Structures are given as structure tokens and as C-alpha cells.
Amino acid sequence: MPDGPLIVQSDKTLLLEVDHEQAVECRKAIAPFAELERSPEHVHTYRLTPLGLWNARAAGHDAEQVVDTLLTYSRYAVPHALLVDVAETMARYGRLRLEKHPVHGLVLASTDRPVLEEVLRAKKVAGMIGQRVDDDTVAVHASERGNLKQALLKLGWPAEDYAGYVDGEAHPIALAEDGWGLRPYQQEAAESFWHGGSGVVVLPCGAGKTIVGAAAMAHAQATTLILVTNTVSARQWKDELVRRTSLTPDEIGEYSGTVKEVKPVTIATYQVMTTKRGGAYRHLELLDARDWGLIVYDEVHLLPAPIFRMTADLQARRRIGLTATLVREDGREGDVFSLIGPKRYDAPWKDIEAQGYIAPADCVEVRVTLPTSERLTYAVAEPEERYRLASCTHEKVQVVRDLVAAHPGQPTLVIGQYIDQLDELAEKLDAPVIKGETPVKERQRLFEAFRSGEIGLLVVSKVANFSIDLPSAEVAIQVSGSFGSRQEEAQRLGRLLRPKTEGRSAHFYTIVSRDTVDADFAQNRQRFLAEQGYAYRIVDAEDLPA
Amino acid sequence: MTDVATEETGFRSLADQLRSWDDDRLAGLLSARPDLTTPAPHDFGQLASRATVRASLARALDTLTLLELSVLDALVVAGQTTADDVRGIILAEPGAVDTTLARLVDLALAWHGRGGLRAVSGVADALGSGPGSSGLRPRSPDAPPAAEVETRLAGLGKPARAMLEHVAAHGGEADAGSARMTVSPADAATPAEELISRRLLVPLPGRRSTVQLPGEVGLALRGGRTTTEPVDAVPPVVTGERPARLVDTAAAGAAYEVVRRVELLLDHWGSHPPAVLRSGGLAVRDMRATTELLGVDVPTAALVVETASAAGLLSTRADAVGDEVFCPTDAFDSWLEQPPAARWVVLVRAWLASNRLPALVGTRDAQGKTRNALSPELSSYSVAESRAGTLAALAGLAPGEVLAGATGLPSLVERVAWHRPRRPRSRADQVAWTTTEAAVLGVTGLDGLASYSRVLVEGGDPEQALAALLPDPVDHVLLQADLTAVAPGPLESALARQLQLVADVESRGGATVYRFTPGSVRRALDVGWTAVEVHGFLASVSRTPVPQPLSYLVDDAVRTFGTVRVGAAESFLRADDEAALSELLHHPKAAALGLRRLAPTVLVSSTPVDVLLGRLRDLGAAPVVEAADGTVQVLRPDVLRARTPKDRGPSHRSVRESARVSAVVAAVRSGDRAAAVRPSAPGTPLTPSGALAALREAVETGATVLIGYVDNQGVSSERLVDPVSVEGGSLTAHDHRVDDVRTFAVHRITTVRPVEAD
């Protein structure tokens, strides 16, 4: 009986024992086709999904390789049904191909006529296809390229897209590598993307996804549309691009709620793109404003549904998605696969941390006990009020103070959900606060001051969750959050993971009220951290070193 | 019996031949044809007559191979003949024919008559046109030698030859129309008359214009043999190559899986028993729940359910309100104690012997009703035999040989059908089901028989061989900060059960993933574990340090859980919480309980436990009862068990049967001796069964008998008859008095007396 590091479960999960001598080798071998689900300290869990297997096919792996890998590293007999399923699933990818035809334009071609017949008869596909060219080929309306791919994926016959891309309007962009260089994994990510045509790059928060985007633009040498989550993030992209590339501020436009510029490189927010007026999306013309050569999607896992619909019409343009995780809370991973593209690069959090590109983090949950009076209020409160009551307890203020005091001289962020609580904390801690109503200019000033070390303590609301680069932050104290969002946890932790001077580790505190919904939600988030491989501790507030 | 008859000289009747056999040979016959023994025949006459009854013959023929059927058919075609002759007209290895003939004699399907070897009467009918039948008529009694037939054939004109071949190909019987039946070759005017004149077609006695092709002519047309294809060629099984090691690991993986599934299912049903339908089966809804529980499709779930039931691990009992429910038996508990390999053997042996058809579960019957698992009608007498046949065929392949992808299964069906060609009609289905079920049960892997299954099929004990392939049980888990525990292999049974108490199972397979939640920890506390015990357990099963969040979780669960515990051993109370005891001790209403402090955390009481418990509860305490050995007696939801059905296992059955067979042999002999010493007084009224036996014997021997017969008017008379057949309560015989064939009701026959042939 081979003593491999891998255990293949019949529910299609793969358990990898990390302390095994072959573990590293095995991880490399299974990473292309299995999605890492959890990576706690001893046993990592991967899952085999159709999308994962198709991603592997897109990257050039075949079923035989996958089966062979499973058999090679598996400790026990591999369930026969699972092997059959892997082979069958993988064989489905690429039976259908979208191609360019000299006469008919875009066509759907197949090497397997029954499959073609099957999908042509499907209701979902009706209306997207034109006349039959020959037995194995059928014309496709060019405008339906994205919708057809989506529909085919739902039918279980994902099509390979060989139809190519338009070059777009050329625009010179080069990386300005003065005093810094692309990290090896960033280089690899940008190149895998470029060779694959379109697709998604998965990198942990803090690993420099913006740089990968810039590198992709340097490859494309064309006008670029960048879609980001919010305005602050848009500004940061702009700053970063000015700093890292040959682009000048004049070449970069912002298209947001306040400013609407269209320049060779335009950064738009999801929000403005999805704003409806009179039942119609008002800003769709942006998509046609220029002949874009590349479209960058930041935080793909948050891509709102209307953007998906718009993306379906942009299939002839190169697309790169950047994200920390392919997991979407709404389960639309399939749309990301078919509309933006397969996963082109993936490096797990811990690996990049081990290479020293992101800082290790020490996660601590501090539990406070509600005083009796607050317990009573809590007990009789309406359910929808409970979370707010529990997470805004005054007990937390003292704990935050203690924690801030415990880390003198270390730039610290206090992050919360409720404005009242943040205002109170800001007052008690005598620190500036950034919240939704803070003007963008003021926000940028404060962030800059924090970055430069002028301010050592900043209280921020959820506006700082995404894509705000605060590389100097070393301590984050979370006092309340949007219920149990794992997404938010990842983002907040991401703020801390920029590498620190002297290799210091970051500290991530979450303050939680014991025996309340606050603690229940916290459990969700802790689980996420533990699954990401972060050791976390739970301490009682009374036990904190004062 | 004055002259000693042997197989060489031939016997007067089948009964005589049987009488000459030794006990072993008789026992062999009775074991092979068990229907002959119920009820035990009185004497050899009755035994012989019963062996020639149509129903019994049909059953016997069902157990023959294609070769045996073909040889029997040749014997029918040949009529009374020699073994040499039979060898001559069968296209098969002479050695194989000899062995087969001997077996047919042993089965009392053929016997050595005075005129040579012959099939028992009725065989021709029983064979019909089914498998093995060549479609040829028996040879005419006065058949000319083969060479003569050849000459006659050679002299035919083209149209006559074509007509003859047409008749031969279409059942060997034809309507001659207006052709003259008595005509010389020279006068023959039509092809039909030409054939009739040369006796290549002969008129059928008693039928005006029908002619038939006599056996000798049919043989000549087929080149002297009953068939044109060899009948001893066993169809080959189409195979592919797979490393034997892979076959074994794949099969062992499945074997382990099925054991696990049975355990999972019955564990669940122990606490959540599904109701028994009025028709006796498992409801479709419960079946669906089972597929979800096991994470498998309906056929697999049905197989698990049916196999568990066949192995006696699952039965029915009345639940608390008196409704019938399915629940595990007490045999399930002892089954659980065994190692996985032994458990598998129990399951698979039960499956092999079972006559159930799990594959039909979920399909619809002719009325469109869904067939339910465990419903009584889902069984077939032949399926166990199909399974055995299929596995035997697979065992015939070399290790590493597996069924070929597309053609393997059909070839296997053909092979199995060769061994039992007559029945059942659903053979192809049954073989296919067997291969599917065998794969699920881990009897086969990658469509090849696993090495340990080979041991099983050959009658050995596969446990050792299988155990070597199954993952070794592990005695530790890996605890992780995300509050999961991973057992990197099958856990030792006791450990697994403890862990299942403290944590929820999240993923199963070669390894098991458990998740700790406040709820699961509380569950352990509910059953009486203390914080210290939980911590101790975690520390002892974990190979790595217990993660801090897990310890915290346990402590947090304990913090909100009650702390007082009470022992049942002659009334003592102990608790980790001194204050709680003090409170009890000083409670004004506790005076009558006679409480006394034994140690800071222990009280004793003079009140019997049952009374004490109630009193303590009245006082507001929440006591838990402890057994004498210090373990906690817990009140948990009842886990139901039914009695194991008293299954008549195959081993018991065979012992009992061999005992029965020898008893029958003894009884037949003594009955026969009694009949021999009884003066054969002519006219002595016979019992109906005696009359039947005597008549059948006369049919066999072609003897003339004198029967006493009471006619419709109640007039008794004696008739001299040549019995032709006895069937359905009536005797068909040639009546000498009227010189015609007449039918007599057997129950009106009062006497049967042999008439010495002159």
C-alpha cells in the first residue's frame, strides 16, 4: 500500500497531509486542477469541481495526468467512480470551439457531432446561433459570443474560445522598473494571462495585484479600461500606475460618480457602471467610448451582475480578472469562468508569505463580557438590533485602548462598521476618523499621513475595506463588521499583509462580545482565518496584559 | 429378482436400474434433484415414476449445461442405442460426451434399457424446442443404416432435395397435400411423392396428410451429426488487461466503502427507523433520504439496504406506537465488533446467497408502480445461481484479466448462459446486475475479480487476503485550529464512536473529517463527559498539540453547562462544584434524604437511588446517574434493535439436506423390500400413487399391462393395454380390446398387473 500524502474522499475532496515528506511535491501536482478550500495547519482540503477540472484543461492538462497524479499520491484506493467522473468531466471541455471563419465570421465548431447536435437543440442556445455552415460547424452571431459561452457552460459543454481578440487602439505603456522589479510570481502571472488570452489571476491580498494589472497592460500596449470597486481604490490605481509605469497622470482618466473622464487608460467604478437612471444603465457608452485593447477587472469575486451582462458583449477584447479568491458568495463562479476566462494563475497565500512578500499575521480574538445592564438590554432587544447592540458595547473601548497601548509606535488601524461607535472611539483615542461622509480629498490626506508615519492611529469604517494601500499598518483592531462576512475578513486582513520592516509580523485583533450574536458571527470569520492557515487565539479581555 | 441385471445387459425398467445403485449414487441423485424427495417416495417404482414426471424433468433440465442438453437431445434422436452410436452423432469431444452421458444417467434422465442406452420418456417433450434441442425427430425404429440414407438422398432430383431441406429447416414436419402415401420410387409423380417413396419423409401415424422427416434423414442432411456447430465449445469471455494490483486496490476501496455505508445507514436507522409500508417495503421517500444520507444513487442505496437485510443486520419490529419499522438487529452490534474485512465477508456471503433483486428498486412494474426496496416480491429463485455462475466465470479468468470494455459483458452473459441455457429468461439482466453489484460491493474492481474474491468464490475464507488490502486502522487524529479533526485513515471502531459523539462528521471516505461545534461538545457533555474528560480525550487522540481555539471552545461549552452529577451506586452524590453540594446538604427539604458530606465534592445518602433522584430533582438539582464501575449511565434516545431472523444459512441447509437425503434413501429401500415380499396378488386394489408408479414403469418399459378399470357406468372391467403416457391424472394407452388409443382416468384404475410378454 503506497504511503502517499493525499487522501481522496468519495465526496471529491482531497485531503493533503502537509507534514508528509511528499506534500510539497503533491501540492504542486494537484494545484492545477483542484481548488484549495481550506489550509489549516496539518491537513489541507482541496476540492475537485468541474470548473477546476476545466481550468486544468484550459491550462493544457489532460485527464490522464489528473488521474495519474491522484493515483500516484493517494494513500488509499481512489474511489473508482471519482476517477471515471474526472475523465468524463474533463473530456467535456473543448469538444466545442469558438473559431473565426473566413466567410461566416464567428463559428461554433465541434469534433464531436452528437455534442454539437445536443447543444444546438438546447433551448438556452436557441437564438444565439445562425445558419449551419457544415456538419460540424455552425455560425454564431458575433454579439452572442459571451452569452453562448455562458449557456454552453451551463449545459456542461464549455467551449474553448479560439476566436481571438481585437488589438484595440494602440497606446504605449511600459513598466518603469526603477528601484523595484516585478516579483517572480507577478511576472509569471502576467505571462500566463497573456498566453492564455483572457482569464483570472488569483493572488492573496497584499501580493501586488495592481502590479500584475500594470504588467498585463504593458503586454497589451493598448488603451485600457480598468473596473474597480470604489473611488478611493480608483485613485490608488491611478497613483500606482503613475508610479510603476510610463503613464503620466494626463493619460489616466477617472470615471466615477464625481468625475467623468475618458482617456487612453480609464478607471471606472463598478458603482457608476451599474447606476441606473430611468431604468437604463447610463454609462454603458463608456464601454464603446474607445476601442479598448484590454479590460481589467479588479476584485472579480465582487463583480456585480450587471457588469457580467456588459462583459458578455466584450468578448472580443482581452480581459484580465484580479482577485484574492475565486469563491463568490453568490455562487457565480461559472460566469467568471465563461465570461472573463479560466483561472490563469494561482498562488496560495501561505506560499507567498513564506517567500517574504507578505507579512505573517498573528490573529487574536478578544472576548469581552457584557456588563449586566447591557446584557439585559441585549436580551430584550429586537433580533435585528442585537448585533448592533452587542458589537457596540462600551466594554470594547477599554479593550481597544489597552491594545493600542500594547503596541506603541506601531501604525494601528481601528476598523468598525458602526459610525457612532467609530466616532466614540475616535474621540476616546484622540485619533482621526475616516467614514463614508469624509470627503475624498480628506481621506487621501489622512491615508497619506498614515503612510508617511505622521499619524500612528487611524479609525476607519468599511470604506477602507477594499483596495486601499496602507502598507505601513502593523496592527488592526476590528471592533465590528458586516455580520459574518468572510470576504470582509480577508480584505481587512489584507490591509496588514504588506511586508513589514524587520520582518515583524502583523497583529490582527477582533473584539467580540461573549455569548451574543457577535460571537456567533465572529466564529464564521475565525473559521475563515484558520482555514487560510492563520493560527488564531482566543483570549478573554480580563486576561489581556494591561 | 432372479437374474442380476447390469448396465451392460440393461435393465427392465428405470426402477430396476435405480434399485441396483448403491446408497451413495442414490443420494447423489436425490441431492441433485431434491424435488424427488418431497414427499419421500415409498419404493423404487414410485421414485422412478416421479423422476419422469414432466415438472420434475423440467426442473432437472434447467440445471443442465448446453452440452448436457445437446447430448440428451441426441439420445432422444437416436432412440435406444449404444454410447458409441451417441458419440458418433454428436459434434463434440468423445470424452466429453462420455462424461456427460454418465452424468445424465446419474441424474436419472437416461438409463440403460434392455435395448440400449435411452432417455427417459418425457424428456423429448420437456426439451421441446428449447436450448440444446437440435430440432430433429427421433430415428425410426427400423431406420436404415446411414449409408443407405445417403444413397437415397443422392438419388433425389433437385426439386425434391430442395423440398427436403426446406422441411428440415422448418420444423421437420410438412403437409403432403394430395401426395400418395404409398407409392414406389418409380411411380413418384411429384417431389413430395419422390421423398415419401424413398422414406425420406414418412407419414405421421394417425394424421392423414402430414409427413415428417425421420431422425436418420435429418442426421444425414447435417452430415451425420445432430448439430453443425460443436456443442462442447464453451463461449470465451472477452477480456482486457489491468494490473492485478490495481484491480485489488480498486475492489478493496469499494469493499471498505460498502462496509462503511452499511454501518452508517444502520446507525442512522437505529435512532431514526423508517416505517414499513403496508406492502412490506421501504417507502420511496425513505429511499430518497437514504440516497442522501449515503451520498449515492438509488441502485447503490438499494443494494446497501438489501444486503444489510440479507445479512440479518436489518429487520422489522414494532416501534413505540406499534407501527412496524425497519431497524438494525442485535446481530448488527456483534457485526460492528468485527474488523472491517470480516464484516465485508458477512455482507458478501449474504448477497451471494440472497434471492433479492435490488437492481429493480426504483423501477416501475407493469402497473406503473414504483418497486420498493425490501418489498417481498422483489426476489427471484434464479438470481443467486446467476450470481454464482457469473462470479465463477470471472474466477475462470487469470488474475489481471478483466472484462473488456464494451464486449466483455455480453460475452460473459453468453458464457453464463452456456452453463444454464434453459432458464431464466432474464439471465442477461441478472448477469449485468451481478457485475454492477459486485463492483459496488468490492467483489470486483475495474471489472475484474479481486484476488480475495477468488478465494471466496472457491469456497475459502477471504478475510485475511482482504484485510491485508484494507487501510490499517489508525488510533489518532490531527486536530486543527479551524476546529476540525482529520482521521488520516479508518479509525478504530471505539475511537470513532467516541469522536462521533464529540464532533460532527463532515466528510467521509478513506479519511474522516470531523468538526467540533459548541453543539457537538455539548452533546458529549449531555452524555456525561466532563470538561476534564473531553480535554483528556482530545489530548490522547491527537498526535499534535490541541489548538488553543479548540480548548477554548470546550471550556466555553462547559461554562454554560450544568455541573452537578449524581451516582447511582447505593446513593452517592458527587459534583465538581462544592457549593452545589453544600446547597443540597443545607436545603431545608433535604433533611429526609439523609445526606452526608463524604468529601468536599462527594455526598452520600441513605435514600435508595430511585427515590433520591426524584427528591433531588424536586429540590431543583439536575443529577446524572453513575454506574457502579464509575461510568455514567446516560439517558439518551433509545436505539432500537430487533431480533435477528433465524436464517437457514446454506451450511445448515446442506447438513440438513444430506441427512434428509440419506433418510429418504433408507426409506425407499425398505419400502421397496416390503413391496418385494408382499405377495403380488392379482387384483389387489392399488392406491392411486401405486397405480401411477406401476403405470409409469409400464410406460418406461413399454410393457403390456392388465388394468382393472371402473367405467362411467360404474361397471368394473379388465383391459389389456400398452401404456403410452401418464399425464395430468389420465393414462393414454393402446387398448388391445378396441385396438386403438384410449384415455383412462387414473383414479378409476383399480389394479395394474404386468402381463408376461409372449
All domains of chain B in start order, with CATH: 146-221 (no CATH), 239-469 (no CATH), 564-621 (no CATH), 680-758 (2.30.30.100)
A467-471 contacts: CB < 8 A, separation 24 or more?
A: A467/A228, A467/A229, A467/A230, A467/A232, A467/A233, A467/A236, A467/A237, A467/A298, A467/A299, A468/A232, A468/A233, A468/A236, A468/A495, A469/A236, A469/A240, A469/A498, A470/A411, A470/A413, A470/A495, A470/A498, A471/A498, A471/A499
Looking at residue A500, the DSSP 8-state letter turns out to be P
Taking the CB of residue A341, how many other CB atoms lie within 10 A of it? 23
Binary contact (B488, A13; C-beta < 8 A): no
Q: Measured between CB atoms, does B436 come within 8 Å of chain A?
A: no
User: If we measure between CA atoms, which residue out of B91, B88, B31 comes closest to residue B66?
Assistant: B91
CATH number of the structural domain spanning residue A307 = 3.40.50.300
Closest chain B residue by Cα to residue A9 = B509
Q: Which residues of A touch B253 (CB under 8 A)?
A: 76-80
Q: Which residues of A touch B488 (CB under 8 A)?
A: 7, 15, 17, 43, 75
How far off is chain A from B468, nearest CA to CA, in Å? 9
Q: Which residues of B touch A13 (CB under 8 A)?
A: 507, 509, 513
How far off is chain B from A361, nearest CA to CA, in Å? 15
Please answer whether residues B723 and B121 qualify as being in contact, where contact means their C-beta atoms are separated by less than 8 angstroms: no
Binary contact (B489, A76; C-beta < 8 A): yes
Domain contains A50: yes
Domain contains A169: no
Domain contains A381: yes
**Which of A290, A323, A353 is where one domain is finished?**
A353
Q: Which residues of A touch B482 (CB under 8 A)?
A: 38, 40, 527, 530-531
How far off is chain A from B547, nearest CA to CA, in Å? 9
Q: Which residues of A touch B250 (CB under 8 A)?
A: 77-78, 80
Q: What is the pLDDT of residue B269?
A: 92
Please answer whether residues B523 and B502 qualify as being in contact, where contact means their C-beta atoms are separated by less than 8 angstroms: yes
3-state secondary structure of A270: helix
Q: Which residues of A touch B471 (CB under 8 A)?
A: 1, 75-76
Q: Please tell me whether residues A116 and A32 are part of one structural domain.
A: no
Measured between CB atoms, which of A11, A43, A75 is closest to B295?
A11
User: If we measure between CA atoms, which residue out of B593, B570, B569 comes closest to residue B581?
Assistant: B593
pLDDT for A350 beyond 70 = no
Q: What is the pLDDT of residue B306?
A: 94
Binary contact (B549, A11; C-beta < 8 A): no
Q: Measured between CB atoms, does B555 come within 8 Å of chain A?
A: no
Q: Please tell me whether residues A394 and A501 are part of one structural domain.
A: yes
Strands (E), A154-299: 159-161, 199-202, 224-228, 252-255, 265-269, 276-277, 280-281, 294-298
Instruction: Report helix angle B650-677 to B23-32, nearest 10.
Output: 120
Mean pLDDT of A308-321: 81
Binary contact (A77, B548; C-beta < 8 A): no
**Which of A39, A72, A91 is where one domain is finished?**
A91
Measured between CB atoms, which of A43, A515, A526 is closest to B549?
A526
How many contacts, defined by CB atoms under 8 Å, are there between A and B?
103
Q: The cell 507578505 sits on which residue?
A: A358
User: What cell numbers appear for B104 in the block?
Assistant: 445424465
Q: Measured between CB atoms, does B345 come within 8 Å of chain A?
A: no
User: What cell numbers appear for A534 in the block?
Assistant: 492563520
Please answer whether residues B617 and B635 qualify as being in contact, where contact means their C-beta atoms are separated by less than 8 angstroms: no
Cα–Cα distance measured from residue A171 to residue A28, given in angstroms and rounded to the nearest whole number: 38
Binary contact (B481, A535; C-beta < 8 A): yes
Q: CA angle at residue B87 from B84 to B88, to 5 degrees?
A: 85
Structural domain span for residue A73: 6-91
Burial class (CB in 10 A: 0-12, 13-18, 19+), B479: buried
Range in A76-80, A456-460, B159-163 the model is least confident about: A76-80
Q: What is the pLDDT of residue B302?
A: 94
Low-confidence ranges of chain B (pLDDT < 50): 1-2, 568, 637, 679-683, 757-758
Q: Please tell me whether residues A334 and A363 are part of one structural domain.
A: no
Cα–Cα distance measured from residue A503 to residue B434, given in angstroms and rounded to the nearest whole number: 64
DSSP state string for B531-595? HHHHHHHHHHHBSSPPPHHHHHHHHHHHHTS--EEEETTTTEEEES-HHHHHHHHT-GGGGGGT-
Bridge-based pairing of strands A361-368 and A536-540 is: parallel
Binary contact (B509, A7; C-beta < 8 A): yes
DSSP state string for B164-232? HHHHHHTTTEEE-TT--SS--TTT--SHHHHHHHTTSSEEPTT-SSEEE--HHHHHHHTTTSS-SS-SS
- Among B480, B505, B516, B560, the strongest candidate for a mutation testing the A interface, having the largest count of A CBs within 10 A, is B480
Give tens-digit pLDDT for A134-183.
Answer: 888 888 887 888 888 888 888 888 888 888 788 888 889 888 888 788 88
Q: Please tell me whether residues A63 and A103 are part of one structural domain.
A: no
Please answer whether residues B436 and B299 qualify as being in contact, where contact means their C-beta atoms are separated by less than 8 angstroms: yes
Mean pLDDT of A522-535: 77
Q: Please tell me whether residues A146 and A193 are part of one structural domain.
A: no
Q: Which residues of B touch A7 (CB under 8 A)?
A: 488-489, 509-511
Q: Which residues of B touch A76 (CB under 8 A)?
A: 253, 471, 489, 510-511
Q: Which residues of B touch A80 (CB under 8 A)?
A: 250, 253-254, 439, 445-446
Taking the CB of residue A64, how many other CB atoms lie within 10 A of it? 11
Measured between CB atoms, which of B249, B257, B511 is closest to A7?
B511
Range in A242-246, A494-498, B420-424 the model is least confident about: A494-498
Q: Please tell me whether residues A21 and A139 are part of one structural domain.
A: no
Q: Which amino acid is at B523?
A: R
Cα–Cα distance measured from residue B21 to residue A401, given in angstroms and rounded to the nearest whole number: 107
Q: Please tell me whether residues A73 and A104 are part of one structural domain.
A: no
Domain contains A171: no
How far off is chain A from B394, nearest CA to CA, in Å? 19
**Which of A338, A353, A368 is where one domain is finished?**
A353
pLDDT for A1 beyond 50 = no
Q: Measured between CB atoms, does B481 come within 8 Å of chain A?
A: yes
Contact residues of A toward B, CB < 8 A: 1, 7-11, 13, 15, 17, 38, 40-43, 45, 75-80, 515, 526-527, 530-531, 535-538
Looking at residue A371, the DSSP 8-state letter turns out to be P
Q: The cell 457531432 sits on which residue?
A: A113
How far off is chain B from A535, nearest CA to CA, in Å? 7
Q: Please tell me whether residues A286 and A409 are part of one structural domain.
A: no
Closest chain A residue by Cα to residue B486 = A43
Q: Please tell me whether residues A147 and A267 are part of one structural domain.
A: no
Q: Would you state the torsion angle of the CA atoms of residues B12, B14, B19, B22, taken in this order, to the nearest 10 degrees?
A: 120
Bridge-based pairing of strands A343-346 and A199-202 is: parallel
Domain contains A177: no
Measured between CB atoms, which of A11, A17, A537 is closest to B509?
A11
**Bridge partners of residue A113, in order along the sequence:** none
Please answer whether residues A266 and A225 qualify as being in contact, where contact means their C-beta atoms are separated by less than 8 angstroms: yes
Q: Which residues of A touch B483 (CB under 8 A)?
A: 527, 530
Binary contact (B549, A531; C-beta < 8 A): no
How far off is chain A from B300, nearest CA to CA, in Å? 12
Q: Which residues of A touch B513 (CB under 8 A)?
A: 9, 13, 15, 43, 45
Burial class (CB in 10 A: 0-12, 13-18, 19+), A267: buried
ipTM for the assembly: 0.77
Domain contains A166: no
Binary contact (B253, A526; C-beta < 8 A): no
Binary contact (A15, B511; C-beta < 8 A): yes
Give tens-digit pLDDT for B380-404.
Answer: 888 888 899 899 999 988 888 888 8
Domain contains A220: yes
Q: Please tell me whether residues A268 and A347 are part of one structural domain.
A: yes
DSSP state string for B298-321? HHHHHHHHHHHHHTTSEEEEE-TT
Domain contains A175: no
Mean pLDDT of A498-509: 73
Q: Could you give the number of structural domains in chain A?
A: 4
Measured between CB atoms, which of A7, A76, A527 is closest to B483?
A527
Q: Please tell me whether residues A214 and A316 are part of one structural domain.
A: yes
Q: What's CA B363's distance to the chain center, in Å? A: 22
Q: Please tell me whether residues A331 and A223 are part of one structural domain.
A: yes
